[in-house]
Amino acid sequence: MGLADFAIGLQNAGVTIYSTGGTRKHLEESGVSVEDVADYTGFPEMMDGRVKTLHPKIFGGILGIRDRDDHVDSMEEHDMVPFDLVVVNLYPFAATAARPGATREECVEQIDIGGPSLVRAAAKNHAHVAICTSSEQYGDLLEQIESGGSTLAQRRKLAGEAFEHTASYDRAIADYMQGETLTGEFPSSLHFSLKRKAQLRYGENPHQRAALYVDPSVRSVNLVSARQLNGKELSYNNLLDLDAALEIVRGFAQPAASVIKHNNPCGAATDAKIARACRKALAGDPLSAFGSVLGFNRTVDMETAEMLCEPGLFIEAIVAPDFEAGAVGLLTTKPRWKENVRLMQVGRLDDGPAAFQRRFISGGMLIQDADRLTSVPLQWKTVTETQVADELWDDVSFAWEMVRHVKSNAIVLAKDTSLIGVGAGQMSRVDSVEIAIDKAGDRASGSVLASDAFFPFPDSIESAAEAGVVAVIQPGGSRRDSEVIDACNKHGLPLVLTGRRHFKH
């Protein structure tokens, strides 16, 4: 329901409506009879509309306590109208600040003054006044008024939502102002205003409750704002895995595909065509790929969809910038999992996640810079006698990009810019190496190994060399780096040090 329809309903219910400026004009053009606030207060709008409703006759009519004789006498003495309902749509500050190219002057002009004051006044006096701050409330409010008026419980609920609304509004302004003055340090205090988007069926396990909330401060392409084209309701675990799949593929300029199980990649690849990248990614660990979540950084085309419909595959969900219409039709009609597969359209991918990462712990929250892959090959050092062969550099770079997406201790094996073995979450690094080699099998021969942190001992190098690994990339920094380098030299393995660790916990 729009504002004009709401106002027409109020008028039909016998409500007298007061308004200002552009809103009054809009309502009158819609056939609503409106009293001009300036005529009521005897004071004109001024300063380009900066001062419109900030007047005692407005706020007295809102704040007056109706069952106190002295308040009623004051209202009558000053010819104040006792307002029963206040409807406010605040200036769109957050939307303006988020608009590319918005100037500081434009943003400042969208800082509402009178609106929040009206909201707070009406919410404070909710014993007598109903406050409306969202078009989503119009229908219920109109129904209440047509039925004789709102109850105290209803007005108290509206007041709570109103104060939440103004708090969020002020938070957006404060964040904008602080963003102009902070010089790299973390803010002295943090406040979040999130809005519930969905009640999930359950959490990580069936006995846990769960819900999905929207963070309005996130401007980059994200999963929460994605459009679901098909499938059942997303689960808590689906959302975690889809987010992981999306974060992997957005790190590549080339067409890329990722395969996620339990928040770790079990497959990923790049190629000149998205369909080939998908086939390579699924071949990384075919057994684990059953029941997985897929991510793409290109539109899912018919060739890719046809491949996904091949027998033996089972896909829980897919996230991509877009899907060709024919691909959607095929994925939702041909495979046996057609009715349930969740297809998430996020739009054209941008630079990626927010600058900060947040994580709750008992009693507080940790915040850190996002782990972006800022080191480049020009900053890397090959510290062994054997140099990396030119034809291996694509795999070296691919492996280093992928290892930061795996839970520590993390080891990945890459070949032909595809993930062929993953060792994740082990307490011993050499155990992660052995698991990655076991997953790769015979394919480990000729592959590149990446480690998210340094090797504390040369034992991992011995295992890698025995499996046929042809290059290793890792941060370095161990007291035993020299022993690790010696082991690489013994086996003729080139070792690249990046100088940057990529733990993920």
Select the more confidently predicted residue: 102 or 426: 426
- Specify the residue for token string 């943003």: 107
Q: Cβ neighbours of residue 282 under 8 Å, at least 6 residues apart? A: 257, 259, 267, 289, 313
Tokens (6 digits) for 375: 């080191």
Q: Does the annotation count 407 as an active-site position?
A: no
> What pLDDT does 46 receive?
65
What angle (nearest 5°) sits at the alpha carbon of residue 104, between those of residues 100 and 106?
Answer: 80
> Mind listing the pLDDT tens digit for each residue in 43-76?
777 676 677 677 888 888 898 888 888 888 888 8
Catalytic residue among 262, 273, 338, 504: 262
> What pLDDT does 319 receive?
97
pLDDT band at 447 (very low <50, low <70, confident <90, very high): very high
Residue 98: is its pLDDT beyond 80? no
> Mind listing the pLDDT tens digit for each residue in 252-268?
999 999 999 999 999 99
Q: CA–CA separation, 495 vs 461, rounded Å?
A: 10
Domains, the chain, with CATH or none: 3-181 (3.40.50.1380), 222-345 (3.40.140.20), 376-497 (3.40.140.20)
Select the more confidently predicted residue: 93 or 39: 93
- Specify the residue for token string 């782990």: 371
Q: Say if residues 17 and 32 touch (Cβ distance below 8 Å).
A: yes
Q: Does the annotation count 197 as an active-site position?
A: no
Residue 15: is its pLDDT beyond 70? yes
Residue 208: is its pLDDT beyond 90? yes
Nearest CA to 413 out of 427, 392, 391 is that of 392
Mean pLDDT of 359-375: 84
> Mind listing the pLDDT tens digit for each residue in 422-444?
999 999 999 999 999 999 999 99
Residue 406: is its pLDDT beyond 90? yes
> What pLDDT does 209 receive?
96
Catalytic residue among 55, 57, 124, 338: 124
Select the more confidently predicted residue: 220 or 423: 423
Mean pLDDT of 368-375: 76
> What pLDDT does 94 receive?
83
> What pLDDT does 192 receive?
75
Q: Cβ neighbours of residue 218 under 8 Å, at least 6 residues apart? A: 224, 354
Q: pTM, whole model, 2 decimals?
A: 0.79
Q: CA–CA separation, 188 vs 181, rounded Å?
A: 13
Residue 184: is its pLDDT beyond 70? no
How far is the CA of 78 from the CAs of 64, 73, 75, 175, in angstroms? 12, 9, 5, 40
Question: 326-340 in b/e burial notation, b at 16+ Cβ within 10 A?
Answer: ebbebbbeebebeee
> What pLDDT does 73 receive?
85
> What pLDDT does 89 receive?
87
Residue 329: is its pLDDT beyond 90? yes
> What pLDDT does 197 receive?
92
